[in-house]
Chain A
Amino acid sequence: MATPNQFYFEDVEIGKVLETPAMTVTDAHVALYGGLVGVAAGPGGVQDFLPLCLSSGLGWRAPQPPVVVLAFMGFDWKFLKPARVGDTIRSASKTVAKRLLKESGVIIEERTILNQRDEILQSGKLTLLVARRPAP
């Protein structure tokens, strides 16, 4: 997995804001996700966890190599405004804390999910276990 287009714990900069490309949430997303997980759409016609799921994929397309995530450890999240079908969402994130463990590291990432009007739909903190750079 140690390819040059990946970031490791040591490469993660605290405070650097990373924005993902945007994606329009469609009826197809709502139907596919609803069928897969069996969750009815929320107040805005989009399931509550769907924007976060889409942001996890958008994160891979950010203008920086993806961090080697070993495990998603937890998150603390607020739903501020319902997403609607037709909204074009993207996420902005920054690492706010790093802690080195023996063979890996923990990073705390602040993430917001925004719509096309720059309104914050959801936001919170994610705790991720990430790989350390392998010894050369």
Chain B
Amino acid sequence: MTSLNEFLQHLVNTLVLGGTYALLGIGLTLIFGIMNVVNFTHGILYTFGAYIMFVVVQKFGLNFFLALPVAVVVGWLLGAVIELILLRPLRGSDIDTTMLVMIGAWIAMQSATLWIWGGVAKSVPAPFPEEPLVLGAVSVSWLRLFVLVAAALLIVLTYLLINRTKLGCAMRATFQDRDTASLMGVNVDLVYTSTFAIGSSLAAAAGALLGPVYVVYPEMGDLASVKAFAIVILGGLGNITGAVIGGFILALAEELGAGYVSSGYRDAMGFLIIIAVLIFKPTGLFPRAERVG
């Protein structure tokens, strides 16, 4: 009986972790899919999101629930600035060049976080009761439950943005065929900036949600970047539903790997998934290359 309970507990943890992974993955799959940029700043935006949470809650003593929208907005602005300064002048250069510029930006920004806040891990206090919510055999802390709900809400909002708004329509058109979309009157520059901003705000949101669950430190985004790539590869480029499913698959693999194999190899799961998928099914598990959505 206990082994079953243990398994159920792993599933609950998977749900919580998978929600934030899905956010990370959606952000990156939009940027990678629409702009064809291998975005290494994704992880640092995740780190920034967590630090914004820390600053707003700890330093300014503001409400925990107010800090989350602040993180999303700051992530959005940072993303827009990165796109305007670094990517717009390089429009048309090859993917290696933009990737290296993103690596340069990542190094500079990560060192900036280290400079500003120091290397000591910070924790963000959350206004939730200490006792976890017990549902039969499994228990989940209120904070993690909040993370799951908030992540789900953001995923739904993004889905609506892509599929129900004019901007989303322009993004989908640009993904299909940039030149034709441009001929049809789509402002491709605006689409690119918006895509990068939206993707970055989702990464910041993921960091803001997971920051209080774990601790906040400057290198926390490094693994997040690569995990986001794993999710994008699993789900197929530009496929939002695929990214959500990929996020949950990665979370499940990590939970089960840590629970039943060895906790030291938790982070290896994502990489093994990447290698396996790219060897056996390079188009991702859910290829739908024709559209974003």
A pairs with B? no
> Interface on B for A, CB 8 Å cutoff?
none
> Interface on A for B, CB 8 Å cutoff?
none
